[in-house]
Chains A and B, each alone.
Chain A
Amino acid sequence: MAGTDEIIGELLDVAARRLAAYGYLLTGSQHAGEELVQAAIVKVFVRRRRIPNAQAAEGYVRAAMRSVHIDRMRREKVWRRIAPGQVAREDVPDHANRIATADALGNALSTLSPRQRTAVVLRYFDDLTVAGVAAEMQLADGTVKRYLSEALDRLAVVVGSEAFEIEYVAVVDRESRS
């Protein structure tokens, strides 16, 4: 079996673009996305596990990216309460983002809160169910639905509501409940 450095190299050869895109979609920032990819790779490979090839590693890394990203959001919330002075109040400008958000979808995504954005990516990019998104984000289903509803209202202006048609069909058949 290939060594860790070889697999990491192969992973970056074949999947860097996909992982970078995923990191960008989750974080809304190229730099933060890159950092997320690296953090996830380190997290996966620090634990000595059997990862036979780059293809398998990509799955591990994507899952780790999701959990690291969500943990960071939760950690920020906690830390702001523990010691707000320890958390920067404003982001440092990410100039690359200005280019990235030049298109309409990018602009619309940039208006979402981090949680809304994450919910949208998990729901529509990772194709998780609402329950799956809720489990990943450690939120109630209703909260995720609210995030998605609010986010889709904004995104629908850009991509059209038909893209989210599935979200508007009845989730619960009222007749069958009685």
Chain B
Amino acid sequence: MLASWAQAAEPAGQVVDIKQAVVQGRGPAQTVTLPHQLAAKDFDPKGSLVAYTLMVDLAAVPALPLGIYVPKIALSGKLYINGQLHGPCERGDLNHVRCLHRPNLFSASPQFWRTGANELRFEIYADDRQSNGLSAVWVGDIDALDRNFFKWRQWLQVDLLAGLTWLSALLGVLALAVGAVLRRDSVYIWFGLTSLVHAAANSSLSTGQPLVDADVFSWLIFFSRFASGHLLILMFAAFFDKLTPRVRNLVLTYVLLSGLGMGLSDNNRTLVTVLYLPLLVSVLLMPALMWHWSRRTRQPKQVLACVLMGIITAASSYDWLKFTGVSSFVDLYLIPYAYGGVLLMFGATLLTLLALSLVQTQKLGSELELRVAQRTAQLEEVHARLLAAETQRVKLQERQDLMQDMHDGFGSQLVIAKMMVEQSKMSQATVAQLLDESISDLYLIVDALGNTENDLETALVDFRYRVQKRLVNAPARVHWNLQGLGSAKLPQRTVLHLLRIIQEALNNALKHAGAQNIWIDLTVDTATPGLTTSIKDDGSGMGPPRPEGRGQKNMIVRSRLLNAELTWHSEPPGTRVFLNMPLR
């Protein structure tokens, strides 16, 4: 019956708001309208308790717990219902805990309540570090209070801000990593620092029980807010590539010295306000300055940065007015949202730009590859053309050399033979011999020019084979020593001259000296380097060459072409022809 009465008196969803309270601070008690902000005279600057007493009438004791919704208690406070302690806004000593940045929803069980007038007493702890006071108070169905009031304010004041803060801090860490990789004083570093310092400043919003001393914590919040504002300016300046080292050092020094000043003055409000003035001016000027910086290009990213800075300026101006006391005590500050949101968007912009530059790099890379391939193809074509031209030139040279060789060799021998036959100056045997020599010379050309590898040993092997065949029925024996030639490579014409010299010496030994044995030795000296050729016979001995001998004359001419030294030595029995030729 009681329960049904209570439900009838306090139907579900019904709430009452209490807008009047009696304040008992250091001065005399006074009736005030809620929300109410305490004046400096009401409390000790170092911190003291102030009591707000509110009255609420209940038709009956409720059957279920009643909700008491308080949007703001600054700095902290305890709730007494009808003289009975309900509890503090945050566990711990009131002078250590902080409740000012989040709403409170107390649940008071039926035993606290009585029919008729009920007294709610908030014992507020106040000090001079921030605005102190109490918002309006709502009493009623706890679910309705939660659904209609508490949930939204909790989300807006705590969850959303914490989310924004964490996200921008995360982006800040990423940006610092990118900046560290890029290894230069880039906008990534400034964004990372700004985000992290901003996260530190916002830690006051979610911290109910600071780990450090309240004074230190308070300074930390003041300083990080102060620093993050300045860092934001530096960040935007860096984004526009306008941050000179001088400006950077000046600002950083000012920030650090100010931080020191704040700490030493115990966060003196006047001092803090004065220190904020340059930043206030900067924040007001920045959008215009940035707009000016971007006037030439009007790049979308720069326009976006201008808009973001504009948001900060607008929010700061709005909050500054509120901070000076014109605005209401319970209204939310815009700057944490603006700041978090702007940092988030700026971080996203940086990420996008990074991705775009990656794409651009890839595009450039493939473009470069393509151009390199095209250039390579061009070069190959040019190379092929040059090669063809060179091949053509070499062929022409070879043809000329071949003609020269034929002229010097069997060509002139044939002309001499023809002339002698015409003038009937020659016996048939002499003509046959002259022609035989011409044929031998032709074979020499074949041996030398057919040897495409330019390999000296191969040419000599062919030459030996040819000579052996020719001498198969001759009484003389030729002893060859071709050892140690290795893989000496000589130009074909050099080989031809060499073979002609050897052949001439061989002919002399066989025909003129009537030798029985001929020793042909070729040795490559890799140290000098040089090639020595020795043709020794055991014939009648020729002595030094006679100037009128055509064969000897040819040998001398050819040794000169080889840049070689040709000598005859009488070594009884027989003669040794010695050819010493430098290689290279």
A binds B: no
Interface residues of B (CB under 8 A from A): none
